[in-house]
Amino acid sequence: MGAAGAGDPLVEVGVGPLTVEQVVAVARRGTLVGLTGEALTAMSAARARVEELAALPTPVYGVSTGFGALATRFIDPAQRVRLQTSLVRSHAATSGPEVEREVVRAMMLLRLATLATGRTGVRPRVALTLASVLNAGITPVVGEYGSLGCSGDLAPLAHCALALTGEGDVRDGAGAVRPAAAALADAGIHPVVLAAKEGLALINGTDGMLGMLVLALVDFRLLLRTADVAAAMSVEALLGTDRAFAPELVALRPHPGQAVSAANLTALLADSGIMASHRGPECTRVQDAYSLRCAPQVAGAARDTLAHAAVIAERELAAAVDNPVVTADGRVESNGNFHGAPLAYALDFLAIPVADVASMSERRTDRMLDKARSNGLPPFLAEDPGVDSGMMIAQYTQASIVAELKRLAVPASVDSLPSSAMQEDHVSLGWNAARKLRRALDGLARVLAVEIVTAARALDLRAPLRAAPATAAVVRALRHRVPPPGPDRFLAPELEAAFRLVRRGTLLQAAEAVTGPLP
């Protein structure tokens, strides 16, 4: 995580929703956050109501009772500080590999946004401390396993809450793992002593699932545009045609994503000397294979799926998820808004087009390597086929990833496991859906990188025929890290370099320098 850039203004967290851009700025770029006066006022008013209810002799869930299956026990006022601390300690029970820093920061920001609505009943000091921890670059260490995606992301959020109290492990601003108490002290932040309801309010949200969905929206948008670049390069390298992408043909089936992808392909292939070389009447090819001709249909359907997921994310960004909540008229009511089903379905849904876009990319790569189908390219694009293997095993790598992506496309949200002595008898597993989507997007980027490396080699081998200005610009950008065709060499570092260029958007930017922004 880098420091906040000069172009990143302070993200003000108020009673209204955050935007996707704001979440990404804080999670990935370290942009600073602040709380609005309106948010502080709303929190103070809600807190006053919680304290009134805490003084009553009648039980109020989350304020003066136990939790989950233990909700029937009334807790003596003298034990309520211990109740909140015990809740956070016991729920901070994740296991496995450490969750990425950007995910934890997104989760913390989104929990802060819910606190700022004034619907959770925490003191303003709790929210201000959370903001200070974010601004100091302190990130709680959270394990990958622990959330069932119902009652929110309890275990991951509990690690974040625990850090506010000065317990548990965190990574400091320099990335070193340290005890939370020491990291807070060095940053001049005083730990919080949790009061009634505050422990519950810090952990009962869908913020982990939502944070990962927001990050996935940004990543998948970039990869879909990159997939159009890769497809254009492959169409050109295989002596395909752009006629199937004509607006009048695409308009016959009015899916918006399809139209966007087809227009991108047309722009990317504009002024291609390779395409012009086989447009004449002597060309006997009637139509291209599906992996070329139907690229807009697949990438377009993926865009439409992404648009649906973005609507879900926007709704969730406008939500105040807690149980119980403080209503506008001062009541404290239990509810089921913490259930992660809306997010889980969207996360699972996105994994399907991720796998399918990758599958089509792999088929284009395989076609470029097959002498019988590549329209004149050497076998496996090798320098000396037989002595050299060229890109043969790079396609194996693609196929291995695609097989994994198909497994990751199996939904997590249909597999509910009951918990908490059957009180929480149906859960969303949305956290699991989010974790596998992140792995799937990483795989898609690697598959596209292999296709682009292969297509760039094929375009070089088409010389002296001239590639389109946009695809030629991509080849030039790639050549800064990946050398041109030649005898076999150690290929893994080149594929990794191409993967980094894909993930950073460098290759997409090279194309857009010619075409203008691609939607």
* Pure H helices in 146-277: 154-164, 180-186, 198-203, 207-237, 247-250, 256-268, 273-276
Q: In the structure encoding, which two tokens stand for residue 347, read together?
A: 């996360």
The answer to the question of residue 2 being in a domain is no
**CA dihedral of residues 234, 238, 241, 242 (deg, nearest 10):** 10
Rounded to whole angstroms, how far apart are CA atoms 63 and 59?
8
Mean pLDDT of 77-92: 87
Q: Is the pLDDT of residue 371 over 60?
A: yes
Mean pLDDT of 483-495: 97
Q: Is the pLDDT of residue 5 over 60?
A: no
Regarding beta strands 332-333 and 325-326, do their DSSP bridges make them parallel or antiparallel, or are they unpaired? antiparallel
> Do residues 195 and 298 both lie within one domain?
no
**Predicted pLDDT of residue 357:** 98
Angle between helices 256-268 and 469-479 (to 10 degrees): 80
The answer to the question of residue 6 being in a domain is no
Specify the CATH number for the domain of residue 168. 1.10.275.10
> Do residues 66 and 200 both lie within one domain?
yes
Percent of the chain with pLDDT over 70: 96
The answer to the question of residue 150 being in a domain is yes
pLDDT band per the 50, 70, 90 thresholds, residue 4: very low
The answer to the question of residue 141 being in a domain is yes
Q: Is the pLDDT of residue 201 over 50?
A: yes
Note the pLDDT tens digit of each residue in 94-130. 999 999 999 999 999 999 999 999 999 999 999 999 9
- The number of angstroms, rounded, from the C-alpha of 323 to the middle of its chain's C-alpha atoms is 26
Rounded to whole angstroms, how far apart are CA atoms 331 and 133?
31
Q: How big is the chain by its Cα radius of gyration, in Å?
A: 26
Q: Is the pLDDT of residue 433 over 90?
A: yes
pLDDT band per the 50, 70, 90 thresholds, residue 286: low
Q: Which of 205, 221, 255 is the last residue of a domain?
A: 205
> Do residues 193 and 222 both lie within one domain?
no
Q: Is the pLDDT of residue 54 over 80?
A: yes
61 included as an active-site residue = yes
pLDDT band per the 50, 70, 90 thresholds, residue 337: confident
Q: Nearest 5°: phi and psi at 483? A: -65, 165
In order, the DSSP letters of 25-84 are HHHHH---EEE-HHHHHHHHHHHHHHHHHHTSSS--TTTSB--GGGTTPBPPGGGHHHHH
Answer yes or no: are the C-beta atoms of 132 and 189 closer than 8 Å: yes
User: Given phi > 0 = left and psi -120 to 50 = alpha, else beta, which region is 201?
Assistant: alpha
Residue type, 400: S
**Predicted pLDDT of residue 283:** 67
334: buried, middle or exposed (CB in 10 Å: 19+, 13-18, 0-12)? exposed
> Do residues 93 and 239 both lie within one domain?
no
Specify the CATH number for the domain of residue 271. 1.20.200.10
pTM above 0.85, yes or no: yes
**Predicted pLDDT of residue 63:** 77
> Do residues 237 and 147 both lie within one domain?
no
The answer to the question of residue 232 being in a domain is yes
Q: In the structure encoding, which two tokens stand for residue 20, read together?
A: 């996707």
Lowest-confidence range among 50-59, 275-284, 306-315, 447-456? Answer: 275-284
> Do residues 320 and 304 both lie within one domain?
yes
Could you tell me the maximum CA-CA distance found in the chain, to the nearest angstrom? Answer: 91
> Do residues 460 and 364 both lie within one domain?
yes
| Structural domain total, the chain | 2
Contacts of 31 (CB under 8 A, 6+ apart): 4, 5, 8, 9, 10, 11, 22, 25
**Predicted pLDDT of residue 284:** 65
> Do residues 285 and 317 both lie within one domain?
yes
> Do residues 110 and 251 both lie within one domain?
no
- The active-site residue, picked from 61, 290, 345, 396, is 61
Rounded to whole angstroms, how far apart are CA atoms 119 and 113?
11
Domain interval for residue 371: 213-515
SS3 label, residue 423: coil
**Predicted pLDDT of residue 171:** 98
Q: Which of 172, 205, 238 is the last residue of a domain?
A: 205
Which residue, 63, 71, 68, 64, is CA-closest to 46? Answer: 63
Q: Which of 169, 189, 205 is the last residue of a domain?
A: 205
> Do residues 200 and 231 both lie within one domain?
no
Q: Is the pLDDT of residue 78 over 90?
A: no
> Do residues 194 and 223 both lie within one domain?
no
Which position has the higher pLDDT, 294 or 3? 294
Q: Nearest 5°: phi and psi at 178? A: -145, 160
SS3 label, residue 364: helix
Angle between helices 492-504 and 430-461 (to 10 degrees): 110
Q: Is the pLDDT of residue 325 over 70?
A: yes
Note the pLDDT tens digit of each residue in 142-200. 999 999 988 889 999 999 999 999 999 999 999 999 999 999 999 999 999 999 999 99
Note the pLDDT tens digit of each residue in 256-278. 999 999 999 999 999 999 989 88
**Predicted pLDDT of residue 6:** 44
